[in-house]
Amino acid sequence: MITEIFPFSVLILALLIDIVLGEPPAALHPVVIIGTAVDRLRRMMPRRKISGMIISVLVISGAVLAGFALIRIAYATGSLAGSSEMGDILALIISSYLLKSTFAFKSLIMTSREIGNLIDEDLDAAKHLLPALVSRNPLNLTHAQARSAVIESLSENYVDTIVSPLFYYVLFSCAGLGVEAALAFKAVSTMDSMLGYKSDDLREIGYVPARLDDILNWIPARLSLPLIMIASPRKSMDILKACMRYHSVTPSPNSGWPMAAAAGALGTRMAKPGVYTILDEGRDPESEDVSSAISLIGRAMVLAALLSALLLILLR
């Protein structure tokens, strides 16, 4: 019966959807819909902390309730048709689609590879694409700084778009709410990416989303260290040393962990000019370092997926 292994089945199908089909159309992408809701609420409300709190409650509860309702409607549709197995299959498909929307294995790798290759071929063209990965101004970046930005974003997004949604999916699957938990995390992550800046117009309204994002990523960010160490066993001690020394140099309490781990594995310096430098003693990243980083994070992604699947089997 599908219901007996439902969380595991949902994860496997979600991974297959990601690998084979990639991202769904924007009009049907749950995260795009969440982003649209955040933008509309932001425009309606004053730039106050209380507004950020209200937006957070509305968006998180909306994402959770929508996911919960869609899955239960799928079950009910099967029951109305007189087939519980049909309900199971519909719920499996809906749940997998929703879960897939919370992570982006294929998209993260492909975007990083595309921009990494373009840096060598046409730096100006690469600078136009960099905002898809990083929030910094790419205008005056050198080749090395642009490569560093790609590697930093790739490693940081390993937590945001892979480890964290899988972590909350597995954690809450025991209560039958794994998909809803992953959607709740993604709602917070989306709000943070849209509102969590320290500019004058967003400093207040983005405060609550940014703090929620810090809290929810706290454990997954630290879990990224052993995962990246296992993904690069020969460099495990270098990774550990880099993390212990540099994890706290970033403004975020979490992003320094995966970035320092990647820097330790590659032996390259990572820097956001005027903000932080990770692995001062490292060399400037070269073109092959972007490829090495993609390979490293790709292996770490596989490990995160395998560990999640194993835990779901053990906990069922």
pLDDT, one tens digit per residue, over 83-134 is: 678 888 999 999 999 999 999 999 999 999 999 999 989 898 988 888 878 7
Question: Judging by beta carbons within 10 Å of its beta carbon (0-12, 13-18, 19+), is residue 205 exposed, middle or buried?
Answer: buried
Cα–Cα distance measured from residue 58 to residue 164, given in angstroms and rounded to the nearest whole number: 21
Lowest-confidence region among 47-51, 70-74, 85-89: 85-89
Banded pLDDT at 5 (limits 50, 70, 90): low
pLDDT at residue 312 tops 70 = yes
Report in angstroms the alpha-carbon separations of 163 from 45, 268, 297.
32, 23, 11
pLDDT of residue 294: 97
Specify which residues 278 forms β-bridges with. 270
Q: What is the pLDDT of residues 173-186, one digit of tens each?
A: 989 999 999 999 99
Mean pLDDT of the chain: 92
Q: Which helix (H) or strand (E) holds 277?
A: strand 276-278
